Amino acid sequence: MTRREGSAFAGLGVVFTKEFADQLSGARMALLVTLIVLTAAGTVYAAIQTIRNVVGEDPFLFLRLFTTAKEPLPSFVAFMGFLLPLLGIALGFDAVNGEFQRRTLGRVLSQPIFRDALLFGKFLAGLTTLAMVLGAIWLLVTGMGILLTGVPPSGEEVARSLLYLLGALAYGGVWLVIALFFSVLFKNPTTSALAAIGTWLFFTVFWGMIAAGLAQAIAPVTYGFPEEVLRQAQTELMLARVAPNTLYSEITLALLKPEVRALGPVLPVQLQGMVLGTPLPLSQSLLMIWPEFTGMIAGMVIFFTLAYVLFQRAEIRA
């Protein structure tokens, strides 16, 4: 067995540059970004019409642009929770098997480019594209908010909104790496796209019901004691947090609604001495959502490792 020489990431910059350029110039990307920008602008404009009456009363007026809904439109964060997985899947579902289909993978790897660099470069390019799209949307929301309300955001509001973007990037990155995993697992891009979308629908539609059923089986309420009810609620919440959309929702809630002081069941004894409605400092909100951030990063690492192992063992001439 021959031992390879040189860095495993030789050619990473070349792969990243090429993939990033392809992502930005593709028609699929242009359609998705247009859809996201239009929906973001529509939801923010509708939110501004709702919150204009409380200008000068709400200390976190800028954050309300992200969370306020107006019928029939949902809030900005609700739209992003729906569209970010689709964007991540679109960026990654044919990253590797598309090279198989075009029969270019063998020629790429015949250059001084290792499989490590190829896979990591594709992932970085997709993640950078997600970050660029989110940054552009944040600038759009900020500009519309200042222009239409006439109130500039405070430093804490800017920090909270940027941290929300970081959480949204991690959320989109989870679905990007899941799509990348299926792109390595299946040789047909259509199959990998259906598998990724099916996984998203499973966690979005069915996992909440499954978590509730499992919680009832694991921690049943036999006599109706408060301890039993609390244990079942905590079990259900723990199982629900397996889903990336639950982690995204909790990050959104804690960062964009500073008055939220807990993300799970709260006992009456915990409310003693607490002034309800008082906003938490940013540092305390970060402590509250740090496990959610860690969970999404762990999910990305797990699926990227699985994709890496499969790709290292794949027969590229097949």
Which tens digit of pLDDT belongs to each residue from 93-146?
888 888 777 777 667 666 767 778 888 888 999 999 999 888 888 888 888 888
The answer to whether position 2 is within a domain reads no
Q: Binning pLDDT at 50, 70 and 90, where does residue 224 land?
A: confident
171 touches 78 (CB < 8 A): no
8 touches 114 (CB < 8 A): yes
Closest CA to 183 of 193, 197, 173: 193
Residue 255 domain boundaries = 12-313
The answer to whether position 5 is within a domain reads no
The answer to whether position 101 is within a domain reads yes
The β-bridge partners of 100 are: none
On the question of pLDDT at 89 being above 60, the answer is yes
Which one has a higher pLDDT value, 277 or 92?
A: 92
Q: Other CB atoms closer than 10 Å to residue 94's CB: what's the count?
A: 22
The answer to whether position 4 is within a domain reads no
The answer to whether position 3 is within a domain reads no
The answer to whether position 318 is within a domain reads no
Q: For residue 224, report the phi and psi dihedrals to the nearest 5 degrees.
A: 80, 15
User: What is the count of structural domains for the chain?
Assistant: 1
Give the side-chain half-sphere CA count within 13 A for 173.
28
Q: Other CB atoms closer than 10 Å to residue 195's CB: what's the count?
A: 19
The answer to whether position 209 is within a domain reads yes
Model pTM score: 0.89
pLDDT for 106:
67
